[in-house]
Amino acid sequence: MLESSVVQKVLGAALRSGGEWAEVFVEDRTASSGRLDDGRIEELSSLRDRGAGIRVVIGETTGFAHTADLSENGLRIAAEAASAVARSGGGGVKEVALTRQTQPSINHIVTMPETVAKADKVELLKRANVAARGEGNSISQVSANYADIRRRILVANSDGLLASDDQVRTRFSVTAVASGDTGMQTGYKSTGFSMGWELFDRVDVESMARGAAQTAITKLKARPAPSGAMPVVLAKGSGGVMFHEACGHGLEADAVQKNTTVFAGRVGELVASPLVTLVDDGTMGPEWGSFSIDDEGRPATYNVLIEDGVLTDYMWDFLRARKAGRPTSSGNGRRQSYEYLPMVRMTNTYVLAGQEDPDEIVRQTPNGVFVAHLGGGQVNTATGDFVFGMEEAYLIENGEITEPLREANLIGNGPEVLKNIDAVGNDFAMGSPGMCGKNGQSVPVGDGQPTLRVSSMTIGGTAS
């Protein structure tokens, strides 16, 4: 992407004004997407974006500048601008010797999506539309979305680090709407991995579309959800987003150092049920949130955050680790693009599998709610309070899953939920791919969990 000699000169320019530490982040990003709605292709787009972000740190001050001009002169001007923001004195010349670091690829890309004809991508959308509508006349609307992105990055800093990565992600989703006497209901299925067009060798888009349609049709028969506190069983892969939002963000070091999380200063304490081990893992094969290096050039790592209920560590980026006196980050420095500063972010966050049979967990729940798919929600990281939508849920009666429920909310508190998990299944699965927003930036993340039961959660239903 850039010659190492050019990068060395840019880092030198960033340090001449007295900078203590400097970084160059270069990105070359290509992407394409398509959307079908009501049988018509509504959107086909592609983009190419290249540029660099330059960061200079002096004491507690960070200077940052970004540019789309990747010439040596353009980069030098951006470096001097970043230095001017961070400057607190100094001067002179500082040479930087770069040593290239090589990390193993998380996945071998068989077919780059950029080499696939747009007509083939459109055909996927059309196949999904036909399959969903084939499930019955009650299907009144179908939308399907395809997206791929290739992101080539290079990271170098004044510690001598020089690393690069080639990240490819492909995603597909289907939404089906069914109409009936009780109104309209929605079914949704999605898939996405850090891989190329070969995703569709392992994923059948027609099967996905039929599944979305069947969910919508089933929900036409749904009864109002009960209200009040009761046991909740989360199906495997269905509720990882709750741990991501209600617990994961509170374990990011920026929130910890600002003391805006209930988990601050609690390393070594029992914060969850002893059945719970929570992990953030950027090395997880071709999962959606995986990569070889983070956006600060650090290798992706497997980080145990909570082990057997005990808080063991937080997630760290470079600056937060530096402030805490840690030798290195945990590989959780991420940014949306070269136009943004990196910050502490999750990768693939999940609860490890336990020992119990998932069917037995349901049988041992006399009455409650079974959540097959949890939607988005809102979380207060300072308190851990949250509200999540149940997109697909069923009643549990006498230890059996019975009637479907209309969409309702799960209301609770992250730390309390962690402590109230009283059964963990042996059937781990990752959930749907997601994009996590934080401070105006969005990055791809994964989450998952085995079937598990929370002994008591509040259902915001409407049934009397």
CA distance linking residue 258 with residue 433, whole number of Å: 29
What is the pLDDT, as a whole number, of residue 379?
A: 84
What is the pLDDT, as a whole number, of residue 84?
A: 85
Measured from the Cβ of residue 3, the count of other Cβ atoms closer than 10 Å reads: 9
Measured from the Cβ of residue 97, the count of other Cβ atoms closer than 10 Å reads: 8
CA-based nearest residue to 226, from 358, 356, 75, 367: 367
Q: Hey, CA dihedral for 307, 311, 317, 319, is it positive or negative? A: negative
* CB distance 357 to 425 below 8 Å: yes
List strand residue ranges (DSSP E) for 5-39, in order: 21-37
Distances, alpha carbon 433 to alpha carbons 32, 149, 203, 247, in Å: 17, 14, 14, 18
What is the pLDDT, as a whole number, of residue 433?
A: 96
**Tokens for 376?**
């988005």
Strand partners, 424: 452
Q: Please state the φ and ψ torsions of residue 340, each to the nearest 5 degrees.
A: -125, 150
**Tokens for 280?**
């953030």
CA-based nearest residue to 131, from 19, 36, 55, 44: 36
Q: What is the DSSP letter of 114?
A: G
For the chain, residues classed under CATH 3.30.2290.10 are 4-219
CA distance linking residue 187 with residue 27, whole number of Å: 36
CA-based nearest residue to 331, from 10, 86, 9, 106: 106
CA-based nearest residue to 54, from 73, 28, 30, 81: 81
Measured from the Cβ of residue 448, the count of other Cβ atoms closer than 10 Å reads: 26
CA-based nearest residue to 245, from 261, 268, 265: 261
DSSP 271-305: -S-TT--EEEETTSTT-TT--SB-TTSPBP-EEEE
Q: Please state the φ and ψ torsions of residue 335, each to the nearest 5 degrees.
A: -145, 155
Strand partners, 350: 279, 448
Contacts for 424 with CB less than 8 Å, ≥ 6 apart: 275, 276, 351, 353, 354, 355, 356, 450, 451, 452
Between strands 302-307 and 310-311, the pairing is antiparallel
What is the pLDDT, as a whole number, of residue 223?
A: 93
Distances, alpha carbon 114 to alpha carbons 117, 130, 197, 211, in Å: 8, 25, 9, 28
CA distance linking residue 340 with residue 200, whole number of Å: 32
- Supply the Cα-derived Rg of the chain in whole angstroms: 24
| Amino acid identity, position 446 | G
| Amino acid identity, position 191 | T
Name the fold adopted by 4-219: PmbA/TldD fold (3.30.2290)
What are the pLDDT tens digits along the chain (464 aa)? 788 899 999 999 888 867 889 999 999 999 999 999 989 999 999 999 999 999 999 988 899 999 999 999 999 999 988 988 887 434 333 445 557 777 888 778 999 999 999 999 999 999 999 999 999 999 999 999 999 999 999 999 999 999 999 999 999 999 999 999 878 999 999 999 999 999 999 999 999 999 999 999 999 999 999 999 999 999 999 989 999 988 999 999 999 999 999 999 999 999 999 999 999 999 998 999 999 999 999 999 999 999 999 999 999 999 999 999 999 999 999 999 999 999 999 999 999 999 999 999 999 999 999 999 998 888 888 888 999 999 999 999 999 999 999 989 999 999 999 999 999 999 999 999 999 999 999 999 999 999 999 999 999 866 64
pTM above 0.85, yes or no: yes
